[in-house]
Amino acid sequence: MSISFCLALCFTALLETLDVLHDADNSSDHEPIVLQLDLQVELVKFADRMHTPRSSWEKARDRDLAHCRLSLSHYLADIPIPHEALLCKNVTCCSVEHAQAIDAYANNISAACTAAAEHAIPQTCSRQNSRCIPGWSEQVQPLRDKSLFGTGSGWIVDDPEQELCLDV
């Protein structure tokens, strides 16, 4: 079954035309396929970039870490301990209940760590909101301070020996 036949089967309802271009200048052993589809597209819209806040450990101060430790100890205290599964001495244990209890215990500990961090540690903010560009202050700001703004083509460094023009 050829590829074009497979495509024709998949897009039968939408397919208006299907051609394979046999271009003499094409040195590839693959041939481009041109499809004309009857698609009803009313609106194509791109979503805004999504930001998922995360704990920013580098922003955390000593009081945040202490708060996190305290929160974590409270969260951990509420987790039921699966004593029977943890104390099982059968090295070939196949108990579904034991496996589920240990999985749930591990998930609860993980969730407690995440919750404590979200509760006590500063969160990252979106770059769009912070308007912060990594490296700007260290790398670009000194050059910007030394520069004169050019005539729409960029920044011109005010140093006759090292004249430099950067496109903006």
Enumerate binding residues for Zn ion (CB under 5 A): 88, 93, 95, 98
The least distance separating Zn ion from the CB of residue 92, rounded to whole angstroms, comes to 9
- Residues making up the chain, counted from first to last: 168
The least distance separating Zn ion from the CB of residue 84, rounded to whole angstroms, comes to 8
DSSP-based helix, strand, coil % in the chain, nearest 5: 45, 10, 45
Q: Which is nearer to Zn ion, 43 or 91 (CB)?
A: 91
Q: Which is nearer to Zn ion, 85 or 117 (CB)?
A: 85
Rounded to 5 degrees, what are φ and ψ at 149?
A: -75, 130
Tell me the C-alpha distance between 92 and 18, whole Å: 60
Q: Which is nearer to Zn ion, 82 or 155 (CB)?
A: 82
Tell me the C-alpha distance between 10 and 4, whole Å: 10
The least distance separating Zn ion from the CB of residue 98, rounded to whole angstroms, comes to 4
